[in-house]
Amino acid sequence: MTTIATITMSLDGFVTGPDDRPGQGLGVGGERLHYWVFGGPWTYDGEHDFGGISGEDKAYYDGRTERIGSGIVGRGMYDAAGAWGGQNPFPGTLVVLTHRTEDPHDPSFTFVDDLGEALQIARQAAGDKAVRIAGGADVIRQALAAGEVDELCLSIAPMLLGAGKSLFDGAPELDLEPLEVHQSRWATHVRYAVTR
Amino acid sequence: MTTIATITMSLDGFVTGPDDRPGQGLGVGGERLHYWVFGGPWTYDGEHDFGGISGEDKAYYDGRTERIGSGIVGRGMYDAAGAWGGQNPFPGTLVVLTHRTEDPHDPSFTFVDDLGEALQIARQAAGDKAVRIAGGADVIRQALAAGEVDELCLSIAPMLLGAGKSLFDGAPELDLEPLEVHQSRWATHVRYAVTR
C-alpha cells in the first residue's frame, strides 16, 4: 500500500501566500501556485475551470490520479477550499483530519481526529490503489515525521512568494530519490521516493 | 550581457548544512548537495575528483559552462572552499566580493568590495559570454534584489537538510519562467529566466 503526499509549493517553499482563507484559498498572490492546474492565469473572483490543464501538467496530473484510490486532507485545506462546495472532488473516499469531527459535513467526507486512524480508513478504502495525502502543509509534515509517506510528489511553481505557509519549516531531515519530472511554463513536477 | 546565478540547494532551500567552514565547505551533511558534482557519494576527508560527473548532471554542467565568460563569488564561499587551493577553477576572471580587499590572494582572483563594481569588472571580462554569480546565498540574494540576475540556475538536491544557510530567506518576491530541466539520481537542475 503506497502512500503519496502531493502538494504545490513556490520555489521558496510556500504552499500559500499570506492570509489564506475561504474565498482566497491560496492566500494573497497564491493563485500563481495553481496556474498549472488551470492552464494559466486565473483569479479568485473570475471564472476558472479545470478543463484548461494541458501538456506536461496534464501528463503529470493524469499519471498521478489514475494511481489514487483514496485521500486525506487537513481541516485547514478543507475550509480554505470552501469544502469544494460540499462535494468530494477527488477519487474515492476523502478523509478530513480535524479536531472538530462533530461539525456538520456532507457524508461524502469522513471526519476523523487522528492521523493513524485517517491512514487506516484511507488505506482500507484505497483497495489496490494508493492513498493520497493532499495537504495542507501541516498534515504532510506530520505524515513525513511519522514515516508514513512513501512518495512526495511536488509541483514547484516558478516564483518566490516570500511569505505564507512554509511546507518544510519543522519538517524532519529526509533523503529522497527523484523518480520522474515533468516541466511546463507553470510548474516543475517532481516525483520523489522517500528513502529515509 | 546575460548574468546567471547558479547554486545547489536542498529541496527545503538550504545551500549548506550547519557549521560550514574551511575543510567542511558545505556544512554537516551538506556533502550530499554536491553528489551530482562528483557522480555520487563523497566525503570531505576522502578522495574526490571531478571526473565522476555523468549523464544528465554532465549535460547540465557542460551546457552551462560553455556559456560562461567570467564569475563572481562571495568571500564566504571563497573561504569555505579554501580559495580552491589558490587557483581559480572557473572559466575566465573570478571576482571575489569582500570587505577585506587588501587580504593576500592569488592574482588569479580579483578582490572588490562592491557588487556593482564586481558586476562591471565581470561583464567587461566576459566578452560575448555570460557572467556567472556562483554564490554563496547572500551574494545571489543581493544580486536578485538589485535586479541584476537574468537567469537563476538551480540544482535541487533530493533531500531535506532541515538546517543550514537558507537561499531564499530575505530574498525578494520574484516571478520566474522555467526554461529547461535535467534530472538525475542526485539533482533536479532547473534553469529559470527571471521575468520580474
**In CATH terms, is domain A3-194 a member of 3.30.360.10?**
no
Fold of the B3-16+29-194 domain: Dihydrofolate Reductase, subunit A (3.40.430)
> Model pTM greater than 0.90?
yes
ipTM of the complex: 0.94
Domain ranges of chain A: 3-194
Q: Are B69 and B125 in contact (CB under 8 A)?
A: yes
Residues of B in contact with A9 (CB under 8 A): none
Task: Please tell me the distance from the alpha carbon of residue A175 to that of residue A119, in angstroms, as a whole number.
Answer: 22
Task: Please tell me the distance from the alpha carbon of residue A56 to that of residue A178, in angstroms, as a whole number.
Answer: 17
How would you write the pLDDT of chain B (196 residues) with one tens digit per residue? 899 999 999 999 999 999 988 888 899 999 999 999 999 999 988 877 777 899 999 999 999 999 999 999 999 989 888 898 888 988 899 999 999 999 999 888 999 999 999 999 999 999 999 999 999 999 999 999 999 999 999 999 999 999 999 999 999 999 999 999 999 999 999 999 999 8
How would you write the pLDDT of chain A (196 residues) with one tens digit per residue? 899 999 999 999 999 999 988 888 899 999 999 999 999 999 988 877 777 899 999 999 999 999 999 999 999 989 888 898 888 988 899 999 999 999 999 888 999 999 999 999 999 999 999 999 999 999 999 999 999 999 999 999 999 999 999 999 999 999 999 999 999 999 999 999 999 8
SS3 B65: helix
Residue B29: cis peptide before it, omega within 30 degrees of 0? no
Q: Which of residues 165-194 of B touch A (CB under 8 A)?
A: 167-168, 171-178, 181, 183-185, 187-188, 190, 192
Residues of A in contact with B175 (CB under 8 A): 32, 158-159
SS3 A97: strand
Contact B168 A12 (CB under 8 A): yes
A138 touches chain B (CB under 8 A): no
Amino acid identity at A104: P
